[in-house]
């Protein structure tokens, strides 16, 4: 796949086939992603790959935590306030996802079921979580972690795999820390669900939105 096509056609996958991803493929994807740039070549990403029975346990515990109203602070604070334009885009995404799933906005029960699916990581057979050391200049380390994840997602897409970068995966860092034996001085930045996309699922096919160049760019000569 050409790079431009990969960038343009990668999309978040929210329904996966029940087909495992081999360890060999994940290893190859990570080996290539490790060539991502980072500040001063520090390579601050610490990666946890989750598959098999641990993945099943991770999903189950996260779903239970959601349904029981479990609340813990995330390792990286979640945004509390968003400027209007960002909020509008967030709401539009919600409409697209729920629309694709034929869930009416006022159907609280069905919306909750969608959240439960989300905390089951959309049935993905694998997950890749990125953590960074607490002592680092967090903003820069997070930027590096994000670059790593984007590289990973593009490479996965190139192989026909699907990904969804997921804040939901790091909502309960206590669960992840205990299940994966990750010490408290490592902060979970983000995770990505990984698997084979279900090509027929409408939630993987809705039209995505992007702002225009004028929304983001100031040209200076």
Which residues contact ligand FMN by CB under 6 A? 11-12, 14, 93, 118, 164-168, 190, 208
Distance CA 119, CA 79 (A): 19
Nearer to ligand FMN by Cβ, of 21 and 192: the residue is: 192
Identity of the residue, 141 or 164, whose beta carbon is nearer to ligand FMN in the bound complex: 164
Residue with tokens 């890749």: 128
- Residue 132 DSSP SS3: strand
Q: Residues 157-184, buried b or exposed e (16+ Cβ, 10 A)?
A: bbeebbbbbbebbbbbbebbbebbebee
Kindly state the smallest distance separating residue 146's Cβ from ligand FMN, in Å.
7
Cα 71 to Cα 203: distance, rounded to the nearest angstrom:
28
Nearest to 152 by CA among 164, 136, 170: 164
Integer-rounded Cα Rg, in Å, for the chain is 18
> Residue 219, by phi and psi: left (phi above 0), alpha (psi -120 to 50) or beta?
beta
Min separation Cβ 168 and ligand FMN, Å = 4
Q: For residue 162, give the DSSP letter.
A: E
Smallest separation (angstroms) from ligand FMN to the CB of 186:
18
According to DSSP, the residues that pair with 133 across neighbouring strands are: 186
Nearer to ligand FMN, 54 or 89 (CB): 89
| End-to-end CA gap in the chain | 35
**Burial profile 61-71: b = 16 or more Cβ within 10 angstroms, e = fewer:** bbbebbeeeee
* Positive or negative torsion for Cα 62, 67, 68, 70: positive
| Distance in Å, CB of 2 to ligand FMN, minimum | 18
CB of 178 to ligand FMN, least distance (A): 21
Residue nearer to ligand FMN on the CB measure, 25 or 205: 205
Task: Closer to ligand FMN by CB, 118 or 156: give it.
Answer: 118
Q: How far is the CB of 41 from ligand FMN (least distance, A)?
A: 23
Q: Which of 29/166 has CB closer to ligand FMN?
A: 166
Least Å distance between CB 34 and ligand FMN? 20
Residue closer to ligand FMN, measured from CB, 141 or 165: 165
């Amino acid at each position: 796949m050409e790079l431009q096509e990969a960038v343009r056609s990668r999309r978040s996958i929210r329904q996966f086939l029940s087909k495992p991803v081999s360890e060999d493929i994940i290893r190859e994807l990570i080996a290539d992603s490790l060539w991502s740039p980072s500040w001063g070549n520090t390579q601050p990403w610490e990666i946890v790959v989750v598959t098999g029975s641990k993945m099943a346990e991770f999903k189950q515990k996260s779903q239970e935590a959601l349904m029981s109203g479990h609340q813990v602070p995330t390792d990286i604070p979640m945004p509390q306030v968003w400027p209007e334009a960002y909020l509008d885009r967030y709401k539009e995404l919600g409409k697209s996802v729920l629309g694709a799933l034929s869930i009416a906005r006022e159907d609280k029960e069905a919306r909750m079921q969608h959240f439960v699916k989300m905390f089951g990581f959309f049935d993905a057979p694998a997950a890749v979580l990125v953590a960074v050391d607490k002592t680092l200049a967090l903003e820069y380390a997070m930027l590096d972690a994000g670059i790593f994840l984007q590289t990973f997602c593009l490479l996965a897409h190139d192989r026909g795999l699907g990904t969804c970068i997921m804040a939901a995966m790091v909502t309960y860092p206590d669960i992840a820390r205990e299940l994966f034996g990750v010490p408290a001085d490592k902060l979970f930045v983000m995770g990505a669900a990984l698997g084979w996309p279900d090509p027929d699922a409408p939630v993987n096919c809705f039209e995505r939105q992007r702002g225009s160049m004028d929304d983001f760019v100031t040209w200076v000569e």
